A and B are shown apart, each in its own frame.
Chain A
Amino acid sequence: QITLKESGPTLVKPTQTLTLTCTFSGFSLTTRGMRVGWIRQTPTKALEWLALIYWDDDRRYTPSLKSRLTITTDPSKKQVVLTMTNLDPVDTATYYCAHGTSAMPWTFHIWGQGTMVTVSS
């Protein structure tokens, strides 16, 4: 059974850097075809894809936020980390990590429960 769980700070000040961790189980990110992505949902409930990391360490970012995002993985710890720099109040959202495979390209099959992040001074 695949599960994912996000963790990180609930409150971040503007201009600070946000670091979120996705801890997963039930699969290995070193297995061909596996991938983990980050998606956020704003208070108005809009969903926005942020980043994706593949089994071979290939990484993809949403163009509008590419300069502020870094996604990395520690397969031995079964974690994926998302870093976002220069936070702004508009980055207030619930952040989800999700699992995907090459059998479902550009689709997120299993999602974590999400972690809410508020950006405020």
Chain B
Amino acid sequence: QSALTQPPSASGSPGQSVTISCTGSNSDVGAYTYVSWYQQHPGQAPKLIIYEVNKRPSGVPDRFSGSKSGNTASLTVSGLQAEDEADYYCNSYAGSSNLVFGGGTKLTVL
């Protein structure tokens, strides 16, 4: 069982916005700003899309945004496109040199 809780699935139509949640505790998400999000297409390695809650690496479209409130982090994908269909994972630093992941969310573009 993953340390961080994500909904197993999410969906939206092209052009819409979708938000995926990542719920932890006051020992991980709630305590640190080291929350990252990864996108994984079938058969590929995960790709970093958000780090430190809301920062985007170079090359990641600004349609992807991150936020955090209390023990829950969120990833919002705006202006959904077909290529956004993928699995999305969050992770968070959990103190004492430990890193925990969420169970992943399958995003379907309808």
Contacts and interface: CB of A to CB of B under 8 A. Distances in A.
Given A111-B46, A112-B45, A47 B57 contact: no
B93 interface: yes
A107 B34 CA distance: 8
Contact of A46 (B93, B96, B97, B101): B101
What is the size category of the interface that chain B forms with chain A? 20 to 34
Contacts of B47: 111
A63 B97 CA distance: 9
Nearest to B50: A107
Interface in A1-54: 45-49, 52
Nearest to A60: B97
A45 B87 contact: yes
Contact of B48 (A62, A63, A108): A108
A47 B34 contact: no
B1 to A, nearest CB: 9
Contact of B36 (A107, A110, A112): A107
B36 A111 contact: no
A96 B47 CA distance: 12
Interface string B79-110: 00000000101011100111111011000000
Interface of A: 45-49, 52, 60-63, 96, 104-114
